[in-house]
Structure 1
């Protein structure tokens, strides 16, 4: 690694993460992108006003939308720890609508799916989201969806799949030989 790449790695490990996030394998080729991306990621993961189970739910919906196996693999465990019901996780993995008991979880799920399906939110959905999550919650939800879309695209394009021996949730087939 160059001195600049090493400095980014040290910055990441000095923050709330205990390890280097997988997209850094690609981003480190562009150290300034890695620095800025990991900083936004630290906010999206640890700094928003949304409860951890809501953030993880949004991340799983994002991973499923993009078919990002590593993102799914990493955040399925985190979602379980945060209290997302296993049956809801299974439904999202199957690309089905989960049976979510609390209003905030249903709202997060529905808003993120609508955002990906239509690339915006209807006025009705926006008002519902603002009423349930608040303005700050809506801003943070869009930030989570945007950041984890960036992560998913990075992981998919550079074929950063699940760790060796782990189950491939979306059956994308064999990884490319030239993967990072």
Structure 2
């Protein structure tokens, strides 16, 4: 793993960067028990958060979307964490997997559940709504869309708001996984998150 972007110490940040830093480390992510560290022992942001300092206006908006997905969603905690772990498995993101397996344990996910999610499967313990949410998540990851039948099934299981939030979650954590590849040097496992087909050149 080659880290391309050095972490910045809190004292090295300009005021705009410091605003992003405070929003991440002093917001709801920092309240209550911490499942994973947001910064290292010297205060440098970890994982995808460090790259958000490159563009404070965009970084501030991105972290706000992440906060809303985590803390203001109508999805249950278990559905949210299972969906995040499905995205992490698809992209082969070690940081997302380790961070959200830690969160998942606090939501009642067992080691067996998380092993199933790492393998791209639906845990046996999932209830009907959780199974539907995961099927929809896998469809979004696989095809980038939902069939009419899948959409109707999703709305029945989690509501139209839940479908919107689930698609946002899949896009948000996929974006973070991409940024972790570009800036933190994460590499996908073999067979994970294969490249999209290249557009065909008209003959």
Give the C-alpha shift of residue 24 in structure 1.
Answer: 1.8
Q: State the Cα distance separating 1:160 from its structure 2 match.
A: 5.5
What displacement does 1:97 show?
4.1
Among 16, 23, 35, which residue is 1:4 paired with?
A: 16
Gaps of 5+ in 2: 1-12, 31-37, 39-44, 191-203
Q: In structure 2, what is the equivalent of residue 109 of structure 1? A: 134
Runs of 4+ in 1 over 4 A off after TM superposition: 168-171
Matched, 1:144 2:169: yes
SS in 2 for 1:17: helix
Q: CA, structure 1 residues 105+141, in 2 after alignment: closer, same or farther (shift >3 Å)?
A: same
TM superposition shift of 1:14: 3.0
- The aligned residue for residue 15 of structure 1 is 27
Give the structure 1 partner of residue 105 of structure 2. 80
Tell me what 2:115 maps to. Answer: 90
TM-score by length of 1: 0.84
How far does residue 170 in structure 1 lie from its aligned partner after superposition? 4.6
Give 1:35 shift: 0.5
Q: Name the CA shift for 1:22/1:59 in 2 (closer, same or farther; >3 Å).
A: same
RMSD of aligned C-alpha atoms? 2.1
Report deviation, 1:21.
Answer: 5.9
Runs of 5+ unmatched residues, structure 1 = 162-167, 172-180
- Compute the TM-score of the two structures, normalised by the length of structure 2: 0.75
